[in-house]
């Protein structure tokens, strides 16, 4: 159970000394509860206090790292069942499956396709994370060679799929240092797979038929000294997948059930590419740590990555849009220019209302660190100076031939200063609420 | 540089200003107080005046109609003088009466503060005497043994020795000015003197020495420096007796209604100066009138204790407040040392002391730490809540072990601002309303006379009654088509008439409009959401609250039942909700009368944890949930559900 | 040792809403649709029931849409000038479970067509198809209030689903639907509290909660989908866990509208990515399978770039 700020506060020295960087012990406790600071910063906490707090803070779902270096992938360590309760922390890793029996040409083509699967979205780069290499013929040499080549050419971390410990070992000999995920330890091979995982310090996937067997296996493997596990309940049918993934998450969080306190892996593979994308999207929403796809079509992958980005956005942080000048409709140099903040709800409201007005317009977005108009104004982030600076840096003067700027009605007080800060511009005070924009643009606006 | 004489009517007050000065500033200089919500930006249009004679230059404005312009109307803030001018200030542009005397105060909201404070005196006698009586300044009458060849220590040491007979005072200090006069003074007064001792930042200072016994004349003034109203209370420091209380509107309001506008104004040329002088003028006016009333001299005022929000404290001390509103919102100083009142420009005994109570953060100031002290919240094991409803609704939660606070921008609607027929709670303000099922209205205005407008408590009543009578729905929208002439389409949409023109003073009906209701719902929603977030953040529930203390503007007249019905206050047993009036003033007085209480305020400020709501993700959610009557979640308001038959 | 699964025991149940009435029931539909009735979270049959599959409605306008993307227009080009034929094509060729008729012609920018003519159009669509109807006003408060009561009257007995009742404008539509026995959509701008408030306001007028369907406003993928996603989860948790009847209602999502709102540039870029925009398939279809989104909602596939409503309270 997560401790509340007050629970934590009770274990702290209550001196309000401020040495931790927070003004009061209670403030520090709240930061700790929100996992925004660490107990180490408190120099005066008693031994008992420390023991009590550390015991309660062990993560119910283990954090597992796959790969090494910049492109390593972290999964697990989730704390909630629903994103609105807090947030989801570690994005579902997307893996593309590649069989090791492809011809060299086909393999090369596949690698090229995989290399293309990274995109820019809202100023962030999003991409797939892993390549899952599947042993198809039990050929040690081939498996190792394909693994080595893919790792080298894509730079991505790997999942090695083989039930044969000998084949697995061959691949680990060439790329074991970069901590690929070994897939998988099962009922019959778990001892040798666990040995490999230990030998190469790699994370190990555990595959079973059903949750009960899975829990038995993880306990046995843990007792062999392998700590970084990833779970596959064996479900392949979508309904069963949802059910198993949900149970694993619930058991770990609600019951602190350690045998299933690990991140999960799901195969979304399906012959129908639409179905596959749909299945994968379910897995992203409902608790998969890794989802493995066959398809490499950008139109399959981009929506999935976008969805992942959406679902894993911290619902507690204001979403921001990029501060720049946006065009709504078919703008000309006569189109009106409106200014607003970069809080995404504010921006999209304004954008929607401009669309509704059917008056093509420019929206100049000022960076207010994701705060709305009045909040930004009160905190001095939406000022005559910041608006004027945005107008200049975004080159608004070159986009329109008129010199009229529409200011949100709530900050009408800025109009005087803004006219000073933007010589030559006339500042028009628009409606207070965005919903007044259609009428304003249609009836009042004139160049 | 040529000068122009500006005369304001109907008072006929004149002032000489430089040519090119604007009328708003000229008015402030002439002590004529004109409305200006925007602080002179030409936006609010509330500072309209009429030019009767003389030449002026007016900036174009959309706030006046052509007809008005023809009649000579202009905006004071956008109009500069070219020649001598005569200006008429129409009633609607006027801040209400500059000073509310005690007599008048009996019929005003400020009377609420006044009488309430007196009641608290009685109620909290026990509480107040929890603190030892050790005022900021004490006077001791001493009869010194004259020096002899045997007892030949210096005059100053002799004085110290005698003072120390009364108690163990390790560190004492005296200024050079006192030392210079001492030898002569002691001998002139035949070694009988009264010494005033002040507590300054951990040491004891000999503030001054007077001949003879004046120890009976030891007075202090406790001041609540509010954004809208400044209240001062004259206290006998020896007997702890409250002599009287006076209030005045904070004339800084001419430069902007809320603290943000004033912080912005402070950054303009002469802005800080002007704001500082405005509030000091208010304080000096109050002190001098208190002193006159009791036939005292300013010299008898030895101590001043101020409690104000952080912006007010900064402006009072002429400290630049601009960092208060910038992230991460830190004040320049929380714990201001005790200084001489004269250093801030406050007129008392020239060597009198001034102390400002410490705050917690940019948006939680000394008024709240004082209120926390006064409520006794931090003395009890029980978890309690303090809500100070003002332009900013400040909320404190905690007990003797911990304290958290937040500030929620409620807006000035409950103070009667920003609402169509709103007014402050002075004579003529409707403060109680009843509406029956046939939509007939009964109301009661302050001062028994004809109504002029509606004050905060009147709006709370109205909202609750409109809802009960089914005139508005739970989102605050009026139901069209009801069979009553009182519901009609006004300029800004639907409105309900509380008082017809013929019953009212003035030439219009007194109405509550749909827009006003939306405004009031936002205000009450912000307060409730702040409370809710604070309680949730601590993992508590409303049921865990043993007491809720309500302080602030409408204290005396607030109908608890109706405030719960509209969802301003949580639905907990009514006997747990207490009104404590102007807790800021009470706390300031307590701190002035007891060094122990002052230290307690410091301790409160030190341990209180501030929550910044603007970055709190659940605040927005709680806020929207509270934008409903009484609330979106009726489970939180079971008694209201029963009453409304929901 | 057998593993003890964590099964939720919910106290609430989502209400069942039936849209459409057959001849025996006083209407003229040849099929009716029932949604809702869930007793738990989505797609967990071992712990709760999900008696009705999500259904798909297809959107038809009573005026030729001007700026719909070519990919959406293509399959309907021939019939778009006749809502009756357009509706018939949706049902006969694409198997639409319902028709969602938007009375855009009443919009002041789309012809401002008089009430009589608009309601005449509704009649024709009712005659042309046997499936139940969702009927949406043009989304302008004053025009909605003129047009929708008449259309409600014309469709009396058909148990249509009428929209939209919003916080700012619900009284007229609620009164009409109450008088004529229709169901109603309570729409809210991506806000759980307002979603609830709208339902309370509607119910406070005496309208049965069991005939309300929630439209929480669906942000498109990459355009705030996650907000809607969380609102749906929260609504369900409140309904099932806390027994909140005002949220225990089926949900309608207009995914197509949002999916096609993506700017032209985006769509072109997507085309370059190799996706063929075929008949009735949109980017939106990929996420219409969300477990917690898809219960009891009707993704309208073909849809308009339309009006996006998402008012942030800008304090």
CA dihedral sign, ordered C57, C63, C67, C72 = positive
Mind telling me how many Å the CA of B423 is from chain A's nearest CA?
22
The region of weakest confidence among A397-401, B480-484, C93-97, C211-215 is B480-484
Chain A hits for C270, CB-CB cut-off 8 Å, are 299, 302
Distance CA C203, CA C187 (A): 14
State which of B36-50, B254-268, B340-354 shows the largest mean pLDDT. B340-354
Residues B404 and B534 in one domain: yes
For chain C, say whether A272 makes contact (Cβ under 8 Å).
no
Distance CA B269, CA B25 (A): 13
The pair of structure tokens assigned to A66 is 């796959």
- Residue B602: pLDDT over 50: yes
Identify the closest residue of chain A to C233 by CA–CA distance.
A82
For chain C, say whether B68 makes contact (Cβ under 8 Å).
no
Chain B hits for A6, CB-CB cut-off 8 Å, are 402, 538-539
What is the widest separation between alpha-carbon atoms in chain C? 72
Chain C hits for A410, CB-CB cut-off 8 Å, are 314
For chain A, say whether B518 makes contact (Cβ under 8 Å).
no
Distance CA A119, CA A228 (A): 30
In the DSSP assignment, the letter for residue B261 is H
pLDDT range class, residue C305, cuts 50, 70, 90: very low
Q: Chain centroid to CA B130: how far?
A: 26
Residues B11 and B48 in one domain: yes
The region of weakest confidence among A58-62, A397-401, C30-34 is A58-62
Closest CB from A277, A282, A352 relative to C291: A282
For the residues A406-424, what does the mean pLDDT come to? 89
Q: Is the ipTM of this structure higher than 0.85?
A: no
Residues B503 and B582 in one domain: no
State which of A11-20, A212-221, B230-239, B419-428 shows the largest mean pLDDT. A212-221
Give which of A379, A407, A414, A436 to mutate to test B binding, by max B Cβ within 10 Å. Answer: A379
In a domain, B103, yes or no: no
Residues B403 and B533 in one domain: yes
Identify the closest residue of chain A to C225 by CA–CA distance.
A310
The region of weakest confidence among A240-244, B29-33, B184-188, C14-18 is B29-33
Domain's final residue, options B485, B501, B520: B520
For the residues A2-17, what does the mean pLDDT come to? 84
For chain A, say whether B410 makes contact (Cβ under 8 Å).
no
Chain A hits for C45, CB-CB cut-off 8 Å, are 239, 243
Domain A63-311: which topology?
TIM Barrel (3.20.20)
The answer to whether the A5-56 and A63-311 domains have the same CATH topology is no
Distance CA B195, CA C177 (A): 85
Question: How confident is the model at residue C304, as a pLDDT?
Answer: 27
For chain A, say whether B607 makes contact (Cβ under 8 Å).
yes
The region of weakest confidence among A10-24, B510-524, C274-288 is C274-288
Identify the closest residue of chain B to C168 by CA–CA distance.
B477
Residues B515 and B624 in one domain: no
Identify the closest residue of chain A to C294 by CA–CA distance.
A282
Bond prior to C42 in cis (omega within 30° of 0) = no
Q: Which residues, numbered 200 to 229 in chain A, qualify as contacts with chain C under a Cβ-Cβ cut-off of 8 Å?
A: 211-212, 215
Question: How confident is the model at residue A360, as a pLDDT?
Answer: 93
The pair of structure tokens assigned to A356 is 């509704």
CB burial of residue A166 (10 Å; 0-12, 13-18, 19+): exposed
Distance CA C270, CA C264 (A): 10
The region of weakest confidence among B50-64, B85-99, B111-125, B362-376 is B111-125
Residues B260 and B349 in one domain: yes
A184-218 pLDDT tens trace: 999 999 999 999 999 999 999 999 999 999 999 99
CA dihedral sign, ordered B494, B500, B501, B504 = negative
- Residue C224: pLDDT over 80: no
Residues B204 and B177 in one domain: yes
Domain's final residue, options B356, B386, B402: B356
Provide the domain limits for residue B59: 3-93
The region of weakest confidence among A95-109, B187-201, B415-429 is B415-429
Per the model's pLDDT, the better-predicted residue between B88 and C158 turns out to be: C158
CB B433 within 8 A of CB B466: no
Distance CA B399, CA B422 (A): 37
pTM over 0.90: no
Question: Does the beta-carbon distance from A281 to C286 stay under 8 Å?
Answer: yes
Question: How confident is the model at residue C306, as a pLDDT?
Answer: 26
Distance CA C49, CA B175 (A): 86
Closest CB from B43, B322, B617 relative to A315: B617
CB C314 within 8 A of CB A434: yes
In a domain, B381, yes or no: yes
Q: Which helix (H) or strand (E) holds B282?
A: helix B271-293
CB B396 within 8 A of CB B368: yes
Of B351, B559, B427, nearest to B111 by C-alpha is B427
> Structurally, how many domains does chain B consist of?
5
CB B42 within 8 A of CB B75: yes
Distance CA A30, CA A3 (A): 10
Distance CA B482, CA A392 (A): 55
Question: Does the beta-carbon distance from A416 to B539 stay under 8 Å?
Answer: no
CB B211 within 8 A of CB B188: yes
- Residue B151 burial (CB count, 10 A): 10
Residues B233 and B346 in one domain: yes
Identify the closest residue of chain A to B78 by CA–CA distance.
A416
Helix, strand, coil in percent for chain B, rounding step 5? 35, 25, 35
Question: How confident is the model at residue B114, as a pLDDT?
Answer: 34
Closest CB from C192, C196, C201 relative to B473: C201
- Residue B255 burial (CB count, 10 A): 24
For chain C, say whether A317 makes contact (Cβ under 8 Å).
no
Beta carbon pairs, B and C, within 8 Å? 35
Chain B hits for C315, CB-CB cut-off 8 Å, are 409, 522, 623
Chain A hits for C217, CB-CB cut-off 8 Å, are none
- Residue A53: pLDDT over 50: yes
Mind telling me how many Å the CA of A196 is from chain B's nearest CA?
46
**Distance set, CA C313 to CA A345, A349, B490, C166, C190 (Å):** 9, 10, 25, 16, 11
Instruction: Look at residue B198 and give its three-state secondary structure.
Output: strand
Question: Does the beta-carbon distance from C283 to A303 stay under 8 Å?
Answer: yes
For the residues C300-311, what does the mean pLDDT come to? 27
> Which subunits count as partners of chain C given 3+ CB pairs below 8 Å?
A, B
Distance CA C73, CA C68 (A): 6
pLDDT range class, residue C84, cuts 50, 70, 90: very high
Chain B hits for C142, CB-CB cut-off 8 Å, are none
In a domain, B117, yes or no: no
- Residue B129 burial (CB count, 10 A): 11
Give which of B476, B628, B637 to mutate to test C binding, by max C Cβ within 10 Å. Answer: B628
- Residue B209: pLDDT over 50: yes
Mind telling me how many Å the CA of B626 is from chain C's nearest CA?
9
Domain's final residue, options B178, B211, B244: B211
Residues B328 and B235 in one domain: yes
Whose tokens are 């420096």? That residue is B225
Question: Does the beta-carbon distance from C274 to A297 stay under 8 Å?
Answer: yes
Identify the closest residue of chain C to B519 by CA–CA distance.
C315
Mind telling me how many Å the CA of C205 is from chain B's nearest CA?
9
CB A390 within 8 A of CB A323: yes
Q: Which residues, numbered 273 to 292 in chain A, qualify as contacts with chain C under a Cβ-Cβ cut-off of 8 Å?
A: 274, 277-279, 281-282, 285-286
Closest CB from A215, A242, A250 relative to C291: A242
Q: Where are the alpha helices (DSSP H) in B100-205?
A: 102-105, 109-123, 125-128, 155-165, 176-188
For chain B, say whether C143 makes contact (Cβ under 8 Å).
no
**Which residues, at least 6 apart from A83, have a Cβ–Cβ distance to it below 8 Å?**
A311, A312, A315, C226, C229, C230, C233
Of A339, A346, A411, nearest to A379 by C-alpha is A411
For the residues B298-306, what does the mean pLDDT come to? 94
- Residue B58: pLDDT over 90: no
CATH number of the structural domain spanning residue B388: 3.30.420.40
A366-385 pLDDT tens trace: 999 888 888 888 778 899 99
For chain C, say whether A316 makes contact (Cβ under 8 Å).
no
Q: What is the mean pLDDT of chain B?
A: 85
Question: How confident is the model at residue A326, as a pLDDT?
Answer: 93
B564-580 pLDDT tens trace: 999 999 999 999 998 78
Identify the closest residue of chain C to B626 by CA–CA distance.
C193
- Residue B13: pLDDT over 60: yes
Question: Does the beta-carbon distance from A26 to B402 stay under 8 Å?
Answer: yes
CATH number of the structural domain spanning residue B279: 3.30.420.480
The region of weakest confidence among C218-227, C241-250, C305-314 is C305-314
CATH match of A325-444 with 3.40.50.11600: yes
Residues B392 and B476 in one domain: no
**Distance set, CA A161 to CA A81, B104, B529 (Å):** 29, 88, 53
Residues B442 and B430 in one domain: yes
Chain C hits for B522, CB-CB cut-off 8 Å, are 315
C227-272 pLDDT tens trace: 889 999 999 999 999 899 999 999 999 877 777 765 444 555 555 5
Question: Does the beta-carbon distance from A26 to B261 stay under 8 Å?
Answer: no
For chain C, say whether B292 makes contact (Cβ under 8 Å).
no
- Residue A10: pLDDT over 90: no
For chain C, say whether A439 makes contact (Cβ under 8 Å).
no
pLDDT range class, residue C285, cuts 50, 70, 90: very low
Question: Does the beta-carbon distance from B624 to C313 stay under 8 Å?
Answer: yes
Chain A hits for B624, CB-CB cut-off 8 Å, are none
Rg (CA), chain C: 19
Question: How confident is the model at residue B39, as a pLDDT?
Answer: 62
Domain A5-56: which topology?
3-methyladenine DNA Glycosylase II; Chain A, domain 3 (1.10.15)
The region of weakest confidence among A153-157, A307-311, B225-229 is B225-229
Of A354, A366, A357, nearest to A327 by C-alpha is A354
**Which residues, at least 6 apart from B43, have a Cβ–Cβ distance to it below 8 Å?**
A412, A413, A415, A416, A429, B63
Chain A hits for C281, CB-CB cut-off 8 Å, are 274
For the residues A146-159, what does the mean pLDDT come to? 96
The region of weakest confidence among B81-90, B366-375, C240-249, C296-305 is C296-305
What domains sit in chain C, N to C, each tagged with a CATH number? 16-286 (3.20.20.20)
β-strands A361-366, A325-328 pairing: antiparallel
Per-domain residue ranges of chain A: 5-56, 63-311, 325-444
Closest CB from C287, C311, C315 relative to A281: C287
Residues B460 and B482 in one domain: yes
CATH number of the structural domain spanning residue B160: 3.10.20.880
- Residue C121: pLDDT over 70: yes
């Amino acid at each position: 159970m997560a401790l509340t700020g007050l629970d934590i506060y009770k274990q702290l020295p209550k001196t309000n000394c401020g040495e931790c960087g927070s003004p009061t012990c209670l403030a520090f406790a709240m930061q700790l509860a929100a996992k925004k600071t660490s107990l180490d910063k408190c120099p005066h906490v008693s031994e008992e206090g420390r023991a009590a707090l550390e015991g309660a803070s062990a993560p119910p779902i283990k954090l597992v790292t796959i790969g090494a270096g910049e492109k390593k992938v972290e999964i697990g360590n989730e704390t909630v069942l629903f994103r609105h309760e807090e947030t989801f922390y570690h994005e579902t890793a997307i893996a593309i499956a590649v069989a090791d029996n492809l011809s060299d040409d086909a393999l090369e083509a596949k690698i090229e396709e995989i290399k293309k699967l990274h995109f820019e979205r809202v100023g962030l780069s999003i991409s797939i994370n892993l390549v899952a290499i599947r042993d198809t013929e039990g050929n040690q040499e081939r498996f190792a060679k394909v693994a080595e080549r893919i790792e080298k050419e894509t730079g991505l971390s790997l999942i090695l799929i083989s039930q044969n410990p000998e084949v697995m070992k061959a691949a680990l000999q060439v790329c074991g240092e970069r901590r690929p995920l070994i897939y998988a330890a099962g009922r019959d091979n778990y001892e040798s797979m666990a040995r490999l995982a230990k030998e190469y310090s790699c994370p190990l996937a555990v595959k079973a038929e059903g949750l009960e067997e899975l829990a038995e296996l993880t306990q046995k493997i843990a007792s062999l000294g392998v700590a970084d596990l990833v779970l596959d309940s064996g479900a392949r049918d979508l309904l069963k997948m949802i059910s198993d993934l949900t149970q694993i998450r619930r058991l770990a969080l609600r019951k602190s059930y350690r045998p299933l306190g690990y991140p999960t892996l799901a195969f979304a593979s399906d012959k129908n590419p639409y179905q596959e994308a749909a299945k994968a999207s379910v897995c992203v929403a409902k608790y998969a740590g890794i989802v493995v796809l066959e398809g490499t079509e950008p139109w399959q992958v981009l929506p999935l990555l976008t969805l992942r980005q959406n679902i894993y956005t911290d619902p507690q942080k204001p979403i921001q849009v990029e501060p720049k000048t946006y065009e709504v409709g078919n703008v000309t140099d006569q189109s009106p220019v409106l200014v607003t903040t970069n809080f995404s709800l504010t921006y999209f409201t304004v954008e929607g209302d401009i669309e509704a007005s059917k008056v093509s317009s420019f929206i100049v977005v000022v960076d207010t660190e994701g705060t709305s108009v009045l909040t930004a104004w009160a905190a001095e982030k939406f000022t005559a100076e910041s608006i004027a600076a945005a107008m200049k840096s975004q080159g608004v003067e070159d986009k329109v031939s008129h010199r009229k700027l529409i200011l949100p009605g709530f900050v009408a007080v800025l109009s005087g200063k803004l006219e000073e800060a933007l010589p030559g511009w006339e500042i028009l005070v628009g409606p207070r609420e965005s919903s007044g924009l259609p009428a304003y643009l249609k009836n009042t606006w004139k160049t | 540089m040529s000068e122009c004489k500006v005369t304001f009517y109907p008072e006929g007050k004149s002032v000489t200003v430089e040519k090119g000065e604007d009328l708003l500033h000229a008015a402030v200089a002439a002590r004529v107080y004109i409305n200006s919500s925007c602080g002179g930006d030409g936006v609010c249009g509330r500072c309209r005046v009429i030019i009767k004679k003389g030449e002026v230059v007016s900036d174009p404005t959309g706030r006046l109609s052509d007809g008005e312009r023809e009649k000579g109307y202009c905006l004071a803030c956008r109009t500069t003088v070219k020649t001598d001018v005569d200006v008429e200030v129409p009633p609607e542009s006027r801040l209400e009466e500059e000073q509310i005397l005690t007599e008048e105060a009996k019929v005003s909201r400020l009377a609420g503060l006044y009488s309430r404070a007196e009641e608290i005196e009685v109620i909290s006698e026990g509480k107040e005497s929890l603190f030892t009586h050790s005022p900021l300044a004490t006077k001791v009458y001493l009869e010194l043994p004259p020096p002899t060849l045997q007892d030949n220590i210096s005059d100053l040491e002799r004085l110290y020795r005698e003072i120390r007979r009364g108690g163990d005072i390790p560190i004492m200090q005296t200024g050079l000015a006192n030392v210079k006069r001492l030898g002569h003074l002691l001998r002139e007064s035949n070694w009988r003197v009264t010494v005033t001792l002040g507590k300054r930042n951990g040491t004891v200072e000999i503030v001054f020495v007077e001949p003879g016994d004046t120890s009976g004349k030891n007075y202090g003034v406790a001041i609540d420096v509010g954004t809208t109203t400044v209240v001062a209370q004259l206290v006998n420091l020896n007997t702890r007796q409250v002599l009287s209380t006076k209030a005045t509107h904070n004339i800084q309001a001419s430069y902007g209604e809320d603290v943000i506008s004033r912080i912005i104004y402070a950054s303009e040329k002469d802005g800080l100066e002007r704001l500082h002088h405005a509030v000091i003028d208010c304080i000096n006016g109050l002190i001098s009138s208190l002193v006159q009333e009791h036939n005292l001299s300013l010299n008898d005022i030895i101590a001043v204790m101020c409690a104000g929000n952080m912006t007010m404290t900064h402006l009072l001390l002429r400290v630049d407040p601009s960092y208060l509103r910038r992230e991460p919102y830190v004040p320049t100083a929380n714990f201001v040392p005790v200084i001489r009142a004269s250093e801030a420009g406050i007129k008392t005994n020239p060597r009198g002391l001034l102390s400002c109570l410490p705050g917690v953060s940019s948006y939680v100031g000394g008024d709240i730490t004082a209120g926390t002290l006064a409520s006794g919240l931090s003395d009890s094991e029980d978890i309690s809540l303090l809500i100070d409803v003002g332009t900013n609704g400040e909320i404190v939660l905690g007990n003797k072990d911990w304290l958290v606070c937040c500030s929620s921008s409620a807006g000035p609607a409950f103070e009667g601002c920003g609402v169509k027929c709103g007014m402050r709670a002075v004579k003529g303000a409707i403060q109680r309303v009843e509406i029956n099922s046939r939509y007939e209205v009964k109301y009661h205005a302050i001062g028994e006379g004809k109504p002029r407008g509606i004050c905060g408590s009147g709006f709370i009543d109205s909202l609750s009654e409109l809802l009960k009578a089914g005139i508005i729905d739970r989102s605050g929208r009026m139901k069209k088509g009801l069979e009553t002439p009182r519901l009609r389409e006004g300029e800004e949409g639907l409105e309900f008439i509380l008082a017809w023109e013929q019953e009212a003073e003035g030439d219009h009906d007194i109405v509550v409009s749909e827009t006003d209701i939306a405004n009031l719902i936002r205000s009450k929603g912000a307060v409730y959401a702040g409370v809710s977030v604070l309680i949730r953040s601590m993992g508590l529930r409303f049921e865990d609250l043993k007491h809720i203390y309500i302080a602030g503007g409408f204290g005396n007249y607030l109908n608890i039942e109706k405030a719960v019905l509209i969802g301003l206050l949580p639905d907990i047993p009514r006997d747990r909700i207490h009104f404590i009036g102007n807790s800021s003033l009470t706390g300031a007085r307590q701190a002035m009368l007891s060094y122990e209480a002052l230290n307690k305020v410091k301790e409160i400020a030190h341990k209180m944890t501030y929550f910044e709501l603007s970055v709190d993700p659940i605040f927005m959610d709680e806020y929207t949930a509270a934008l409903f009557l009484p609330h979106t979640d009726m489970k939180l308001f079971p008694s209201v559900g029963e009453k409304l038959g929901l | 040792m057998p593993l003890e699964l964590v099964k939720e025991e919910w106290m609430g149940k989502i209400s069942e809403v039936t849209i459409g009435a057959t001849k025996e029931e006083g209407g003229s539909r040849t099929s009716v649709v029932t949604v809702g009735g869930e007793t738990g979270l989505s797609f967990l049959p071992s712990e709760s029931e999900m008696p009705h599959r999500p259904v798909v409605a297809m959107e038809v306008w009573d005026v030729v849409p001007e700026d719909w993307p070519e990919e959406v227009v293509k399959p309907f080009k021939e019939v778009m000038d006749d809502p009756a034929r357009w509706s018939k094509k949706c049902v006969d060729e694409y198997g639409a479970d319902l028709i969602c008729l938007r009375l855009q012609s009443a919009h002041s920018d789309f012809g401002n067509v008089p009430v009589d003519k608009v309601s005449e159009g509704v009649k024709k669509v009712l005659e042309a198809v046997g499936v139940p109807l969702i009927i949406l006003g043009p989304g302008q408060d004053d025009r909605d209030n003129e047009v929708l009561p008449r259309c409600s009257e014309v469709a009396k007995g058909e148990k249509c689903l009428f929209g939209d009742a919003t916080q700012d404008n619900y009284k007229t539509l609620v009164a009409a639907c109450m008088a004529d026995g229709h169901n109603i959509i309570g729409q809210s701008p991506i806000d759980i509290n307002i979603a609830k408030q709208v339902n309370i306001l509607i119910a406070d007028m005496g309208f049965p909660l069991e005939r309300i369907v929630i439209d929480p406003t669906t942000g498109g993928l990459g355009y705030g989908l996650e907000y809607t996603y969380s609102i749906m989860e929260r609504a369900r948790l409140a309904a099932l866990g806390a027994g909140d009847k005002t949220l225990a209602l089926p949900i309608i999502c207009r995914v197509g509208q949002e999916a096609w709102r993506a700017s032209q540039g985006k769509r072109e870029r997507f085309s370059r990515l190799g996706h063929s925009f075929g008949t009735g398939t949109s980017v939106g279809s990929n996420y219409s399978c969300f477990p917690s989104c898809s219960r009891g909602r009707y993704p309208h596939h073909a849809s308009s770039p339309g009006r996006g409503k998402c008012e942030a309270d800008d304090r």
